[in-house]
């Protein structure tokens, strides 16, 4: 990680040069360190990196920012052998340009690590559970569920690359009121198949999906749930369980169509088996966490930062969803997850304080419980907005969207923006085979490099060792190291070469930053930038001229191909070799 390593080294040297900084209170010290930036400048003409260290430290060490900048330049940065140039600008910004030879040598790491390039061991196997989608098993998934599923899947990939031991989990709400209503809807349609009338719930779910479940039950079990037609004895438990099972299977198939799969499908009903609920109540009573009021049982969630206490058991004796939330969190703790990450729908803001309250009450660090609220998607085609409700009738579903534009476009478009940003999904744009379509633009860069490698293999350039050509597909780092030692390590011939190399080397930092900020879109943004740098590089530089090839440019193209593939893998988007 080029930027992370340089920043860590720079901060350590700053603390050695100015030890008085460590005399600050802990909170002040942490704020100072967090405020010191070593990052890309907004205007690349200023250099590769810029730091505001002099401005941040000026008041702490009682020096003028400009004078402090000189000290930092002369005592720290000028001693870094990989830095070519340091300039002081404005009120004390330090602008840094790295040596081209350093960048060329760092490119070798792309080939040495290849499959693992971009990954790190920051988390060292730390267990994290990421729960996402978790839609009620009562109908087809809407577009919002699809977006949260794709982004949850990509975020899981990102956490894995940062060394976390990730468990992807779907929580199936098969115990509440909505599950019962759904089962009643299915029962009505199912019994109609045998000429038996049974009322369809007034606020029931659309018959289209319900009918599919009923038909599957008919095909699998015929009339086995009807125990006695005269008395209408009916096996409700087995029927409801199988109806939910079939709906969950349909949901799973839909998610698989966009490349989303889970390690665990956790059923809410499993929390209430074998006295688990009573054991949970005993656990809470022993700790003085519950009390009775107005004939209901309440949880003291305000003691742990929630805005109000929550009902666990209603007056009618039935447990609430909050009761399930408590038991589910206890279960997660017992499975020894150190971090929990929830990705919830746009109407779940109230869950943030209550989930953290539960975590605190059972002895978990609430700061290790993160809740992301995902925003909705609006599907447009031209000026027409598609309806997407599954309770009010037939709407535009996730299955429809995948069939319309394909898996790659769905995954890329869903992850282009942050979780908390509404997304307008333009079907017309997603179907275009042009550079206006961002997923096409990125994939085309990868395919272009594939074309270059095929031409290299076919033309057999006179200045390229046959061993290198035969080793290109295997990315043999020994061969690449040999040729890197032969190419010139001096300056790049032009800015397009240098910009491509620089952008390639930013990939590991992008993966780390995407994890730290729970931001899959960092990867999309990076890939679009890398594709843009490559397309410009390709347009302005000849790689093959006659019977000779520019080896440095070929290696840059191959390194870009490796990183593009790795980035597209994170997004779950294909990397076609031909387009």
Beta strand extents in 7-156 (DSSP E only): 38-39, 49-51, 83-89, 93-98, 127-131
Mean pLDDT for the chain? 91
The CA-based angle 459-461-466, given to 5 degrees, is 100
Least Cα distance to 378 among 424, 418, 417, 410 occurs for 424
Residues paired with 85 in a beta bridge = 97
Residues paired with 233 in a beta bridge = 228
Q: What is the pLDDT of residue 111?
A: 86
Looking at residue 464, the DSSP 8-state letter turns out to be S
Between 2-17 and 65-75, two packed helices, what is the crossing angle to 10 degrees?
Answer: 110
Beta strand extents in 52-183 (DSSP E only): 83-89, 93-98, 127-131, 165-172
Cα atoms in the 13 Å half-sphere on the side-chain side of 426:
10
Indicate the range of 168-172, 229-233, 421-425 predicted with least confidence: 229-233
Least Cα distance to 321 among 284, 356, 351, 293 occurs for 351
**In 362-387, which positions are buried (b, 16+ CB within 10 angstroms) versus exposed (e)?**
bebebeebbbbbbbebebebeeeebe
Q: What is the pLDDT of residue 164?
A: 97
Segment (H or E) for 266 = strand 264-267
Confidence of residue 390 (pLDDT cuts 50, 70, 90): very low
Percent of the chain with pLDDT over 90: 74
- SS3 at position 2: helix
Q: Would you say residue 210 has pLDDT above 70?
A: yes
Least Cα distance to 374 among 346, 334, 415, 406 occurs for 346
Q: What is the pLDDT of residue 245?
A: 97
Query: Edge to edge, what strands does the sheet with 423-426 contain?
Result: 384-385, 377-381, 423-426
Give the pLDDT mean for 256-284.
Answer: 93
Q: Would you say residue 82 has pLDDT above 90?
A: yes
Contact 38, 7 (CB under 8 A): yes
Read off the pLDDT of residues 33-76 as tens digits, 9 standing for 90 and up. 999 999 999 998 899 999 999 999 998 888 999 999 999 999 99
Q: Which domains does the chain have, with CATH numbers?
A: 2-98 (3.30.1360.70), 103-121+435-571 (1.10.730.10), 132-142+171-260+375-431 (3.40.50.620), 273-373 (3.40.50.620)
Confidence of residue 264 (pLDDT cuts 50, 70, 90): very high
Indicate the range of 13-22, 245-254, 399-408, 456-465 predicted with least confidence: 456-465
Read off the pLDDT of residues 537-562 as tens digits, 9 standing for 90 and up. 999 999 998 888 888 899 899 999 99
Confidence of residue 481 (pLDDT cuts 50, 70, 90): low
Give the pLDDT mean for 340-360.
Answer: 92
Indicate the range of 95-99, 276-280, 460-464 predicted with least confidence: 460-464
Read off the pLDDT of residues 317-339 as tens digits, 9 standing for 90 and up. 889 999 999 999 999 999 999 99
Q: What is the pLDDT of residue 479?
A: 63
Q: What is the pLDDT of residue 393?
A: 46
Alpha carbon distance 453, 116 (integer Å)? 22
Q: What is the pLDDT of residue 24?
A: 82
Pairing status of strand 310-313 against strand 296-299: antiparallel
Q: What is the pLDDT of residue 108?
A: 85
Alpha carbon distance 13, 5 (integer Å)? 12
Q: What is the pLDDT of residue 273?
A: 84
Is the backbone of residue 140 left (phi > 0), alpha (psi -120 to 50) or beta? beta
Residues paired with 381 in a beta bridge = 384
Q: What is the pLDDT of residue 471?
A: 65
The token duo for 26 is 């802990």
Read off the pLDDT of residues 272-316 as tens digits, 9 standing for 90 and up. 988 889 999 999 999 999 999 999 999 999 999 998 999 999 999
Read off the pLDDT of residues 486-539 as tens digits, 9 standing for 90 and up. 566 667 889 999 999 999 999 999 999 999 999 999 999 999 999 999 999 999
Q: Would you say residue 391 has pLDDT above 60?
A: no
Read off the pLDDT of residues 392-412 as tens digits, 9 standing for 90 and up. 444 678 888 999 999 999 999
Indicate the range of 238-242, 303-307, 479-483 predicted with least confidence: 479-483
Alpha carbon distance 486, 495 (integer Å)? 22
């Amino acid at each position: 990680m080029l930027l992370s390593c340089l920043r860590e080294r720079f901060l350590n040297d700053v603390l050695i040069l100015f030890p008085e900084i460590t005399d600050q209170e802990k909170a002040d010290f942490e704020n100072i360190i967090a405020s010191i930036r070593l990052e890309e400048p907004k205007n690349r003409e200023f250099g590769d990196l810029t730091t505001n260290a002099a401005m941040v430290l000026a008041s702490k060490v009682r020096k003028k920012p400009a004078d402090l900048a000189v000290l930092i330049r002369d005592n720290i940065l000028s001693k870094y052998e990989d830095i070519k140039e340091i300039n002081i600008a404005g009120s004390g910004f330090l602008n840094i340009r790295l040596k081209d030879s350093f960048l060329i040598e760092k490119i070798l790491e792309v080939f040495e690590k290849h499959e693992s390039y971009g990954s790190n061991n920051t988390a060292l196997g730390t267990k994290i559970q990421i729960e996402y989608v978790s839609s009620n098993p009562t109908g087809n998934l809407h577009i919002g569920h699809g977006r949260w599923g794709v982004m949850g899947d990509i975020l899981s990939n990102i956490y894995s690359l940062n060394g976390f031991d990730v468990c992807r989990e779907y929580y199936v709400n098969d115990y509440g009121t909505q599950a019962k209503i759904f089962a009643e809807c299915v029962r009505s349609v199912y019994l109609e198949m045998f000429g038996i009338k049974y009322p369809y719930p007034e606020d029931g779910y659309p018959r289209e999906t319900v009918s599919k479940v009923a038909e599957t039950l008919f095909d699998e079990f015929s009339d086995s749930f009807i125990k006695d037609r005269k008395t209408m004895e009916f096996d409700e438990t087995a029927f409801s369980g199988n109806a939910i099972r079939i709906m969950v299977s349909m949901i799973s198939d839909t998610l698989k169509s966009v490349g989303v799969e889970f390690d665990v499908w956790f059923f809410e009903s499993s929390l209430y088996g074998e006295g688990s609920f009573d054991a949970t109540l005993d656990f809470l009573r022993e700790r003085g966490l519950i009390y009775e009021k107005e004939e209901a049982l309440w949880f003291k969630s305000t003691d742990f930062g929630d805005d109000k206490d929550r009902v666990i058991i209603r007056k009618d004796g039935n447990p609430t969803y909050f009761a399930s939330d408590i038991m589910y969190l206890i279960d997660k703790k017992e499975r020894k997850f150190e971090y929990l990450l929830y990705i919830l729908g746009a109407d779940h803001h109230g869950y943030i304080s209550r989930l953290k309250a539960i975590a605190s009450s059972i002895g978990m660090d609430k700061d290790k419980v993160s809740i992301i609220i995902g925003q909705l998607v609006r599907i447009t085609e031209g000026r027409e907005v598609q309806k997407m409700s599954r309770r009010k009738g037939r709407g535009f579903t996730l299955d429809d969207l995948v069939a319309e534009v394909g898996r790659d476009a769905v995954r890329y478009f869903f992850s282009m923006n942050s979780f908390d940003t509404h997304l307008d999904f333009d079907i017309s744009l997603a179907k275009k085979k042009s550079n206006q379509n961002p997923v096409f633009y990125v994939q085309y860069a990868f395919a272009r490099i594939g074309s270059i490698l095929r031409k290299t293999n076919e033309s057999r350039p006179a200045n390229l060792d046959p061993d290198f050509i035969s080793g290109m597909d295997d990315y043999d780092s020994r061969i690449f190291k040999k040729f890197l030692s032969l190419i010139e390590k001096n300056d790049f011939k032009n800015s397009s070469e240098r910009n491509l190399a620089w952008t390639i080397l930013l990939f590991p930092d992008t993966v780390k930053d995407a994890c730290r900020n729970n931001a899959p879109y960092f990867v999309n943004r990076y890939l679009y930038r890398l594709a843009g740098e490559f397309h410009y590089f390709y347009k302005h530089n000849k790689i093959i001229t006659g019977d000779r090839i520019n080896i440095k440019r070929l290696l840059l193209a191959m390194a870009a191909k490796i990183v593009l593939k790795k980035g597209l893998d994170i997004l779950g988007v294909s990397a076609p070799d031909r387009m």
